[in-house]
Amino acid sequence: MKIINKLALILIIFSALSCRAQQTFPLLTSVDNIPNDSHLKDTNNELQPFVGTYLATYNGNQITLFISKENDKLFDFGNKQIYIDVLSIRYTVKNSLGTSLQDTQNKVFQSDLLHTIYSSWVTENGSKVTLNYAGTNCSVGWGKILLKKVNTTQLSWEYRPNDITTTSKSCPDNLDTTIYLPETKDLIFTKQ
């Protein structure tokens, strides 16, 4: 009986030492101010007003945004890993004939983050959100997207690409490096 009690005690101690306490903070907390393996939670529902399907037309192309909320998305900041509630945008871009130019709606994203759009910050009143776009092939077009609530059914879009060119040395010629997302400011998307 003593061996079973000692074994049970050892297992309890081992379990207690191996568990890491994960701390939860409000979504608007700076990543710099929290410990590794923390959670930034959308406790005040700042993200929810942006969730939905939105449609706009730009330069003859129809752009559909599929905005969803993902809870506890793991991000690696190099010196720490943080779980964050984020907005995720998938999209389709079709030309005037209805031909699909780019479609990430059902894409399974890999660790390279190609084509991903995730929120990085939302204002306290939930009226604006900043998102990071990883870009297309060879990271062409990576940059920031700003969404602002115009009203309950409309969003204003601004896309600021940081890198829109490439060379054959940095990217194979056979890859499509066209940026299909609208590179503009104040484009209105309407909720469907």
User: Where is 186: in which H helix or E strand?
Assistant: strand 185-191
pLDDT, one tens digit per residue, over 107-157 is 877 666 778 999 988 887 789 999 999 998 888 899 999 999 999 999 999
User: What tokens appear for 146 in the block?
Assistant: 């700003």
SS (H, E, C) 1-50: CHHHHHHHHHHHHHHHHHCCCCCEEECCCCHHHCCCCCEEECCCCCCHHH
Indicate the Cα dihedral angle 160, 148, 87, 64, nearest 10°: -80
Residue 15 has pLDDT above 60, yes or no: no
Higher-confidence residue: 43 or 169? 43
Please give the mean pLDDT across all residues of the chain.
Answer: 87
**Strand-strand pairing, 61-76 and 81-94:** antiparallel
* pLDDT grade for 21, boundaries at 50, 70 and 90: low
Which pLDDT value is given to residue 112?
63
User: What tokens appear for 175 in the block?
Assistant: 């890859």
Which pLDDT value is given to residue 17?
42
Nearest Cα to 133, choosing from 185, 74, 91, 189? 91
Nearest Cα to 71, choosing from 82, 60, 84, 62? 84
Residue 93 has pLDDT above 50, yes or no: yes
What mean pLDDT do residues 65-84 have?
93
Cα–Cα distance, 175 to 177 (Å, whole number): 6
3-7, 71-75, 114-118, 175-179: which has the minimum mean pLDDT?
3-7
Cα–Cα distance, 163 to 31 (Å, whole number): 25
Show me where the domains of the chain are located.
Answer: 2-191
Cα–Cα distance, 113 to 174 (Å, whole number): 20
Q: Please, which residues have CB within 8 angstroms of residue 95's CB and are 6 or more apart in sequence? A: 60, 61, 62, 101
**DSSP assignments along 47-109, one per residue:** SGGG-EEEEEEETTEEEEEEEEEEEEEEEE-SS-EEEEEEEEEEEEEE-TT--EEEE-TT---
**Strand-strand pairing, 154-161 and 185-191:** antiparallel
Residue 63 has pLDDT above 60, yes or no: yes
